[in-house]
Amino acid sequence: MIKIITIEREYGSGGGEIAQLVAQQLGWKLWDQRLTEEIAKLANCSKAVVEVREERRDPLYYRLFKSFLRGSYEGSLNAPRLKIVDADCIREVAEKVVKAAADEGNCVIVGRGSAYYLQPRTDAFHVFIYAPFESKVRRLQEDGNSEHEAVHLAETVDRDRADFIKQHFSVEWPDRHRFHLMINSDLGDEWAVDAILKGAASFQNRQISSASSSH
């Protein structure tokens, strides 16, 4: 029985907004900003506004962690200011929070390595959302970024995510075979939501049929 949907996404593709709509349709808990807050709490961070110009001076792991935590507010610069950040902190805290959310079930989890941490679970349906570069820039501008900022975010955030995934899972992000469904959000958010819901239902029916035929 599918009780977890993970949504990994390219930055600016609208994955966070689509995840929120999926959660609303199912009546499930959305782990997006909630996930960020829980990770920040466990990592002993305080919330602070991080200016764009500071990103260039951040240590590598802090920069990766910042990208890793970015939630559905795609243009937001809010991120925890970490006291101590290293690779083990990033991996251990995120894994703990993601797995705890999954254990609760009936949830939609956005990014944060969830598709990779939860890969062995048979009750999880994994989705990857992407979009053409121009569409991502346009969406980021609609969220209040200048064109320059939008282009910079679209070019850099996914690169940091890819670095994080490669470092901790030894795979090239997004490692497509780990996902059950890949969707181009340029076709529309509502279309994407419908495709995810139908895909998850179809995957679940196939699981039920396979279980029945094995008995």
Positions in the chain short of pLDDT 70:
39-40, 43-91, 213-215
78-81 vs 46-49, strand pairing mode: antiparallel
- Per the CATH hierarchy, to which homologous superfamily does domain 4-201 belong? P-loop containing nucleotide triphosphate hydrolases (3.40.50.300)
- Rounded CA-CA distance 164/116 in Å is 12
pLDDT digits (tens, 9 = 90+) for 170-201: 888 888 889 999 999 999 999 999 999 999 99
Q: In residues, how long is the chain?
A: 215
CA 203 from chain center: how many Å?
A: 21
pLDDT of residue 167: 79
pLDDT of residue 162: 84
pLDDT of residue 62: 57
Report domain extents, the chain: 4-201
CA 104 from chain center: how many Å?
A: 18
Could you give the C-alpha distances from 175 to 8, 64, 114, 161, 185, in angstroms and in order? 11, 18, 13, 12, 19
pLDDT of residue 54: 24
Contact 32, 72 (CB under 8 A): yes
Stated pTM of the model: 0.80
